[in-house]
């Protein structure tokens, strides 16, 4: 009987240390993915434990490998095509937007009802400012956003407001919960 108990404990330890368990929410967690497409867009996910609500998300492009900027008006700071901030989808309600102006590097979004398990997205054109660009200045390669940061403020189940941060990586993802619980 003691051997059987050890095997069960070993299996449980393996499951808890596997990458799948890193996806389990145990506190506040956001994940933001950037996609270069005909319309550049961001997908924001609230991967927090139940009861956590996203109040605000800020994307700060300063420090990005590609020295990225928002390209939101024709003939402005960017090159080629442009696209201003375009609404959000999903059940999450946007209550405010600041920043995101042409040539700027910071945009902040305020939300209501951004509960755990919900997603929201928006589009806005990004361009890089590199002399030797990976795909041309109007097409942002995923790694060109690496180094940019995301900040969020979440409302805890206790009523406390908790700030969290994440940095965009080489595959254009900022995840505050990489490596498990925060």
Q: What is the pLDDT of residue 142?
A: 64
Judge whether 8 lies within some domain. no
Q: What is the pLDDT of residue 178?
A: 62
Could you report the per-residue pLDDT of 143-161, keeping only the tens digit for each? 889 999 999 999 999 999 9
Maximum mean pLDDT: which of 33-37, 60-64, 136-140, 141-145: 60-64
Across the range 10-31, mean pLDDT stands at 51
- DSSP code for 156: -
Distances (CA, A) of 42 to 122, 135, 156: 6, 19, 24
Judge whether 53 lies within some domain. yes
Query: Alpha helices, DSSP H only, in 18-120?
Result: 19-22
Judge whether 11 lies within some domain. no
Q: What is the pLDDT of residue 179?
A: 53
Q: Classify 180 in phi/psi space as left (phi over 0), alpha (psi -120 to 50) or beta.
A: left
Judge whether 151 lies within some domain. yes
Across the range 89-109, mean pLDDT stands at 92
Judge whether 139 lies within some domain. yes
- DSSP code for 14: H
Report the number of distinct structural domains present in the chain. Answer: 1
Across the range 56-67, mean pLDDT stands at 95
Could you report the per-residue pLDDT of 105-143, keeping only the tens digit for each? 999 999 999 999 999 999 998 988 876 656 554 566 668
Judge whether 10 lies within some domain. no
Q: What is the pLDDT of residue 54?
A: 97
Distances (CA, A) of 95 to 56, 82, 117, 125: 9, 24, 19, 21
Judge whether 2 lies within some domain. no
Q: What is the pLDDT of residue 9?
A: 32
CATH number of 33's domain: 2.60.40
Binned at pLDDT 50, 70 and 90, residue 78 comes out as low
Q: What is the pLDDT of residue 150?
A: 98
Residue 102's CB is within 10 A of a number of other CB atoms, namely: 17
What stretch of H or E contains 94? strand 93-99
Residue range(s) defining the domain that contains residue 153: 22-175
């Amino acid at each position: 009987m003691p051997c059987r108990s050890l095997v069960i404990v070993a299996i449980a330890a393996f499951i808890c240390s596997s990458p799948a368990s890193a996806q389990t929410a145990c506190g506040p967690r956001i994940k933001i993915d950037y996609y270069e497409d005909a319309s550049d867009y961001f997908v924001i996910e609230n991967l927090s434990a139940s009861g956590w609500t996203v109040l605000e998300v800020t994307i700060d492009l300063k420090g990005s490998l590609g020295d990225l900027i928002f390209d939101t008006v024709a003939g402005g700071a960017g090159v080629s095509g442009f696209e201003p901030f375009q609404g959000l989808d999903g059940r999450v309600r946007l209550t405010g937007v600041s920043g995101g102006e042409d040539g700027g590097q910071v945009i902040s979004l305020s939300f209501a009802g951004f509960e755990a398990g919900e997603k929201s997205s928006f589009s806005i054109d990004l361009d890089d400012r590199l002399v030797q660009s990976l795909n041309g200045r109007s097409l942002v390669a995923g790694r060109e956003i690496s180094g940019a940061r995301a900040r969020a403020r979440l409302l805890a189940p206790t009523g406390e407001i908790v700030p969290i941060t994440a940095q965009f990586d080489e595959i254009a993802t900022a995840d505050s919960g990489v490596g498990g619980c925060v």
